[in-house]
Structure 1
Amino acid sequence: MTLLVFGKSGQIATELARRAPGAVFLGRKDADLCDPEGCAAAIHAHAPNAVINAAAYTAVDHAEDDEAVAMRVNADAPGAMAEACAAQGVPLLHISTDYVFDGSGDTAWHPGDGPGPLGVYGRTKLAGERAIVQAGGPHAILRTSWVFSAQGGNFVRTMLRLGRTREALSIVEDQVGGPTPAADIAAACLSISGALRENPGQTGIYHFAGWPDTSWKGFAEAIFGMTGHAVSITGIPTSDYPTPAKRPLNSRLDCRTTEHAFGITRPRWQTGLRDVLKELGDLRQ
């Protein structure tokens, strides 16, 4: 399968490169998502058998003051990709987010549940989903949450940095979701792309997140428990940690449809965390 990936240095793209070295990866210099027409042209030029969009505008807080650019990257570009893929009859797998939901309640969100994004990031990602569906080609929209890896900016790396200089931290405990290793997302992307190539009828929206669900406080405690850093964690409500963009309190994702369609089960995030810490050289021996 000739695979074309939008994204080169991000967490998921990096893990995809480890698993699909023969794929073509397009960084910003090769295909800028601020240029949707250029992204579509790249698909026509490479004529792939499948496309994965692992690139996005992910600066959640900054997006609040940068909506036009976020919309172009997260909505217009995926829409253009989807139209190009539909024209060639090739599947597009697009990474989306739990931020399309409003985070209410305490039950896991099903792919068919009504969206209600709280901020610009979620609105632009939802607009991207709708543009892909409207294009009418074979596609899989894979919503995920709380992505972490040994690369890039993520919660694990932030905790490790803070844990080296602080003895105590206050961490939000009323936001709950499934931390998801980028390595497992990459593996799922490749599996779903292959399945969709064989059976375009599996087109749809799917969820994929690590288990068991936990809070940011619980995640932090697991990180320091595995590293051996003596850091005292105090749980605080979201209201005590204001940010420009509102965060959903409930990021639980119901992933049963993904398991039923593709046989992909939720990864245990503690296993992925151990692998990441080992790669970073921070795992307590």
Structure 2
Amino acid sequence: MGKTGGGGSARWSWGRGRVLGSAAVLTALLLVFHSAVPDTPAHLGSLLETFLPWLGLAVPVLLVGGLLRRSYTALCALLLPAVAWSALFGGLLLPGGSDDGDLTVVQHNVSDVNPDPAGTARALRATGADLIAMEELMPAAIPVYQEVLGADYPYHATQGTVGLWSAYPLSDVRKTDIKPQGIAYGWDRGMRATARTPHGDVAVYVAHLPSVRMGATGFRAAWRNESATLLGEALAAEPLDRVILLGDLNSTLDDRGLSPVTSRMTRPDTDAAFSWPAKLPLARIDQILTRSAAVTHLWSLPATGSDHLPVAAHVTF
């Protein structure tokens, strides 16, 4: 009666499950002290922070292990990562924020190989957003987007491969130079414009930071980080109080590589809104950040012809 198959004891024990308990403690430490993980030379810290919420998957795995081992030690230790994850990311499980806002904005990397730009434009127009930002705009596709969006968004501006369509007048449109050294001339992925909204002038930035890659030498993010520093400097120098940043920043907001940007802006405190990859979204690398304003609701939209999902937000001043 007191034994199970395989020679294991049916009784719960404090002596078993020490490896599981150690794994639980390590998971909690990585969640809480992720900034202590070195970021050079392979940018492992950035890699960890890019997918930090997914460390929560360790909790149910370790829970099953602790139950199978009948280990008090494992289950008690499991409280540490469970509490840490809940404190950091529990808000992602709560219902969405307010549906009210002064502006509705949309951010979308439309993909340079999008097979249906007209369909993508119609999907973005259907949102009724006040501002629509796009990245990976190819010259041949710009007239297609303009044809679909022009009636509802009579004001638009493009710079290189980024663009902005607006229901309100745009002025002081100019390039924002975020090109890292070492990238060839002609790489042009940043712009700034003033939108004259009913709530006052708003500086709107559209940016597409360089991609990151996994390689033999680790997580390659140096160009992305350099570009983020340049974007952060532009935001710091912006004279208008109200700022909206719309862009494909090629990482999540927990990634320390984006700190030159995130330290100068207010990050949304609501909703996961994962945007990439479109077929199985694992992270939100398409961002909507504000200054002297708040994102009250953030959500991802249905897939278009891009490998990213569009992301929309209500912004309140």
- Give the TM-score category using the shorter length: 0.3 to 0.5
What TM-score does the superposition give when structure 1 sets the normalisation length? 0.34
Higher helix proportion: 1
Higher strand proportion: 2
The structure whose RCO (Cα within 8 Å, separation 6+) is larger is: 1
